[in-house]
């Protein structure tokens, strides 16, 4: 298996632009997680899905952030409009098991480094 796939790996955009990050989880995994990592705050959970359904989005910082999972093999995280403080590395992770699912290990993708100028 190729593992969790994320694209793009790097994104540089200007303030106010829309940004879309993409993730393909490991086949057969039924939970998908979006995290944000910064030096100041470390890894923070933004939202997670189980069987394509959003379960908890309390970590989404603002209404400018939205996430979708139209099927078991694809998810997007969108920021509109983007701001400089959104600059961070965004990780997607997936895992298997029953929901709520925080007892099993999560497999992380390589991340998308976002820079908003």
Partner 1 sequence: EDQVTQSPEALRLQEGESSSLNCSYTVSGLRGLFWYRQDPGKGPEFLFTLYSAGEEKEKERLKATLTKKESFLHITAPKPEDSATYLCAVPNTGFQKLVFGTGTRLLVSP
Q: Which residues bind partner 1 (CB under 8 A)?
A: 4, 42-45, 48, 56, 58-59, 91, 93, 100, 102-103, 105-111
The contacts of residue 91 (CB under 8 Å, 6+ apart) are 6, 34, 35, 36, 37, 43, 108, 109, 111, 112
| 102 token code pair | 């925080």
Q: Which is nearer to partner 1, 18 or 44 (CB)?
A: 44
Distance in Å, CB of 81 to partner 1, minimum: 27
Distance in Å, CB of 73 to partner 1, minimum: 18
Our CB check for partner 1 shows the closer of 81 and 110 to be 110
Query: By C-beta, is 10 or 83 nearer to partner 1?
Result: 10
């Amino acid at each position: 298996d190729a593992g969790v796939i994320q694209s793009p790996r790097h994104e540089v955009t200007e303030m106010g632009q829309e940004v879309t990050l993409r993730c393909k989880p490991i086949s057969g995994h039924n939970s998908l997680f979006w995290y944000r990592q910064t030096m100041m705050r470390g890894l923070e959970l933004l939202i997670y899905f189980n069987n394509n359904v959003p379960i908890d989005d309390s970590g989404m910082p603002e209404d400018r952030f939205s996430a979708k999972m139209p099927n078991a093999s694809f998810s997007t995280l969108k920021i509109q409009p983007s701001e400089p403080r959104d600059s961070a590395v965004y990780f997607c992770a997936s895992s298997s098991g029953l929901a709520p699912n925080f007892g099993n290990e999560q497999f992380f993708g390589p991340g998308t480094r976002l820079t908003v100028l």
